[in-house]
């Protein structure tokens, strides 16, 4: 799934915002008492930056831990780490997050391997490598039309969705949402005459079988951020090292402002 956007991630934000992970917010002139609801990544980050700028911040969290969607599980007595929440981070597409990890807290990270072309898939009683399965839906027994035969899941998806991306880039999101806001992914793919077999093939190869009946607009928005060339990363030792750093910085801000 890909589309080459003319914008870079950094261009989405102001210079001041891009510099926040390193320089922080300007010092407050009229400092306030601020409540932050939730100790997830966003809540912790907001609390830390506001407290550093001089505000007094209280975080309210309903659970017994911090981190929100970042939830790292460690097996006691072993070196095994499992991510029960966010397991991969698109740092190249999210420069602010990358700066917090790399320039603020100096956390080591590695590339996350999404898939292995030599791994095996078993679909419709057929064993193939991922590489072989990606080449042709008919090889896996999917009943596709003649013009879909021999096309990869990416090719089928891009053929169906690139017109939507063109609408966004030429006419804007308002036009896109007006025309397609009520569609699910499945409804849209059906409306552009993608066969049932091709839809099922794309869903399996993209691992979106359970998402077919969710919003089309959300899927297309994701495509603006993540493409075939997007690299993912993980923090060595667990992604919760980031939220722990944020928590500790919050606790240690002078005069107990956080």
For residue 143, the cross-strand partners are: none
Looking at the predicted structure, is the pLDDT value of residue 3 above 50? no
| pLDDT confidence bin for 9, thresholds 50/70/90 | low
The model scores a pTM over 0.75: no
The mean pLDDT value for 77-103 works out to: 91
Region(s) of the chain under CATH 1.10.405.10? 120-225
CATH superfamily of 120-225: Guanine Nucleotide Dissociation Inhibitor, domain 1 (1.10.405.10)
Looking at the predicted structure, is the pLDDT value of residue 10 above 80? no
The mean pLDDT value for 158-179 works out to: 92
| pLDDT confidence bin for 130, thresholds 50/70/90 | confident
Which of 127, 117, 140, 107 has the alpha carbon at shortest distance from 238? 107
CATH code of 9-86+238-256, in short, is 3.50.50.60
């Amino acid at each position: 799934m890909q589309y080459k956007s003319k914008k870079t991630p950094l261009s989405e934000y102001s210079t001041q915002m891009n510099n926040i992970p390193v320089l922080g917010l300007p010092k407050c002139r009229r400092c306030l008492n601020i409540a932050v609801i939730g100790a997830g990544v966003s809540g912790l980050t907001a609390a830390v930056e506001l407290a550093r700028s001089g505000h007094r911040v209280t975080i309210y969290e309903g659970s017994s831990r911090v981190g929100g969607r970042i939830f790292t599980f460690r097996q006691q007595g072993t070196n095994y780490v499992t991510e029960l929440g966010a397991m991969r981070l698109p740092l190249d597409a999210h420069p602010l997050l990358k700066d917090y990890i790399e320039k603020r807290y100096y956390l080591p990270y590695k590339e996350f391997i999404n898939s292995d072309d030599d791994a095996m898939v078993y679909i419709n009683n057929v064993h193939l490598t991922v590489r072989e399965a990606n080449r042709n839906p008919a090889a896996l027994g999917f009943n596709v039309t003649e013009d879909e035969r021999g096309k990869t899941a990416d090719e089928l998806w891009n053929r169906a969705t690139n017109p939507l991306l063109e609408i966004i880039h030429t006419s804007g999101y308002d036009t896109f949402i007006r025309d397609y806001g009520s569609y699910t992914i499945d409804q849209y793919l059906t409306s552009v005459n993608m066969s049932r077999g091709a839809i099922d093939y794309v869903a399996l190869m993209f691992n979106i079988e359970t998402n077919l009946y969710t919003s089309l607009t959300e899927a297309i928005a994701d495509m603006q951020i993540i493409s075939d060339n997007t690299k993912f990363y993980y923090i060595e030792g667990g992604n919760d090292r980031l939220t722990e750093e944020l928590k500790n910085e919050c606790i240690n801000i002078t005069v107990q402002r956080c």
